[in-house]
């Protein structure tokens, strides 16, 4: 049983990302909500949790090769397997082309290779061309690049020997990420590595908030988190234009506080593993496939079908890819250093 509740938060986040994506890509006549207006809370969770945990992982073992190799092993094997499943199985089912023509099309290899270097590519030849959200194979992959870039920023700032300076740097980056798009300091609609600058800054802000909470050693109290969440709810109702600013302060504090507590129900969520990363990687294409195979299926069974399949895939990925790699990392260490690093900061990666 985990000593904290971060695994449960990641599971909840993965479900939130999946449901939000499903509501976006379902037909407007089937989906009951204006999904694009739903906050990307699940994605915020992934970035906040990663931002809070990874500076601690670096502080415990400030070794660059070990740190980077751990991040690579936690992201790219699962990404590679998920891309293969998407391209070879889901894409082959959904394309109107013959299997040979589909697999030999240059766009198929292009999709695989680009996404393996975290340069988002969303299309495969003919795949989901008749879906309401046409041609989009996996809209969740865009955030993997910004997330991995933030991973690499951790040791850069972590080399600063003074804690308060590190905390100030993370706080400064948080403020800059929030304010820069509003004052036109930079061209936010420019594209960097396949993503709009303002989209990158939006998620980076939550990573920086999590890291700042860690470095400032802010006291984490449930009663304070409840009060903060109440304030955010009031702001959302009375001053909705201020919600985005207040959310950057309140949401990270609430998430980190809840995640750090050994809440009995939540801390047991990871007893069978952590399927959140696999759910994140496969949920979007699975929902598109469900829509492709049964376009008139109502939104509730459509989302539930996607959820069941994605959870099953997430556990398979954990048991047969993530866990064996984790055991290899442990067995390769010298005696006396056989200790796992911080819990997996799952990506999202989403909108």
Its domain, for residue 110, covers 6-331
Average pLDDT over residues 222-247: 91
| 69: in domain | yes
SS3 344: coil
192 forms bridges with which residues in the sheet?
Answer: 195
| 149: in domain | yes
SS3 141: helix
SS3 192: strand
| 221: in domain | yes
Q: What is the pLDDT of residue 150?
A: 98
Number of domains in the chain: 1
SS3 191: strand
| 1: in domain | no
| 347: in domain | no
Q: What is the pLDDT of residue 332?
A: 60
| 321: in domain | yes
Average pLDDT over residues 127-154: 97
pTM over 0.75: yes
User: Are the C-beta atoms of residues 327 and 124 closer than 8 Å to each other?
Assistant: no
Average pLDDT along the chain: 90
Q: What is the pLDDT of residue 152?
A: 98
Average pLDDT over residues 207-233: 96
Would you say residue 335 has pLDDT above 80? no
Nearest to 345 by CA among 42, 75, 18, 39: 75
Alpha-carbon distance of 153 to 260, in angstroms, equals 23
SS3 195: strand
pLDDT-derived band at 84 (thresholds 50, 70, 90) equals: very high
| 344: in domain | no
Would you say residue 215 has pLDDT above 90? yes
| 349: in domain | no
Alpha-carbon distance of 100 to 13, in angstroms, equals 38
Alpha-carbon distance of 122 to 214, in angstroms, equals 35
Q: What is the pLDDT of residue 13?
A: 97
Alpha-carbon distance of 270 to 188, in angstroms, equals 38
Nearest to 31 by CA among 44, 20, 15, 18: 20
pLDDT-derived band at 1 (thresholds 50, 70, 90) equals: low
Would you say residue 328 has pLDDT above 90? no
Would you say residue 114 has pLDDT above 60? yes
195 forms bridges with which residues in the sheet?
Answer: 192
Alpha-carbon distance of 23 to 31, in angstroms, equals 6
């Amino acid at each position: 049983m985990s000593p904290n509740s971060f695994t449960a938060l990641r599971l909840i986040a993965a479900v939130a990302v999946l449901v939000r994506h499903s509501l976006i890509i379902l037909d407007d006549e089937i989906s009951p909500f204006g999904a694009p207006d739903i906050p990307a809370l699940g994605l915020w969770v992934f970035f906040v949790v990663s931002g809070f945990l990874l500076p601690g992982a670096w502080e415990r073992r400030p070794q660059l090769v070990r740190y980077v190799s751990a991040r690579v092993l936690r992201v790219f094997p699962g990404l590679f397997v998920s891309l293969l499943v998407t391209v070879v199985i889901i894409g082959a089912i959904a394309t109107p082309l013959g299997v040979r023509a589909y697999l030999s099309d240059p766009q198929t290899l292009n999709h695989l290779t680009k996404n393996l270097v975290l340069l988002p590519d969303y299309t495969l030849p003919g795949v989901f061309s008749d879906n309401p959200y046409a041609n989009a194979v996996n809209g969740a992959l865009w955030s993997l690049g910004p997330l991995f870039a933030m991973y690499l920023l951790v040791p850069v700032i972590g080399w600063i020997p003074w804690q308060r300076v590190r905390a100030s740097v993370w706080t400064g980056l948080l403020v800059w990420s929030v304010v820069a798009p509003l004052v036109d300091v930079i061209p936010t609609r420019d594209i960097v590595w396949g993503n709009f600058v303002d989209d990158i800054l939006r998620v980076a802000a939550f990573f920086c908030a999590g890291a700042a909470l860690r470095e400032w050693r802010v006291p984490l109290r449930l009663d304070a988190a409840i009060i903060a969440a109440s304030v955010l709810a009031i702001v959302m109702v009375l001053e909705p234009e201020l919600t985005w600013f207040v959310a950057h302060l309140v949401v990270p504090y609430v998430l980190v506080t809840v995640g750090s507590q050994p809440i009995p129900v939540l801390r047991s969520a990871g007893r069978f593993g952590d399927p959140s990363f696999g759910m994140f990687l496969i949920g979007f294409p699975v929902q598109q496939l469900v829509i492709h195979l049964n376009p008139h299926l109502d939104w509730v069974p459509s989302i539930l079908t996607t959820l069941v399949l994605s959870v099953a895939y997430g556990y398979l990925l954990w048991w047969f890819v993530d866990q064996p790699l984790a055991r290899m990392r442990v067995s390769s260490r010298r005696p006396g250093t056989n200790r796992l690093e911080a819990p997996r900061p799952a990506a999202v990666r989403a909108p």
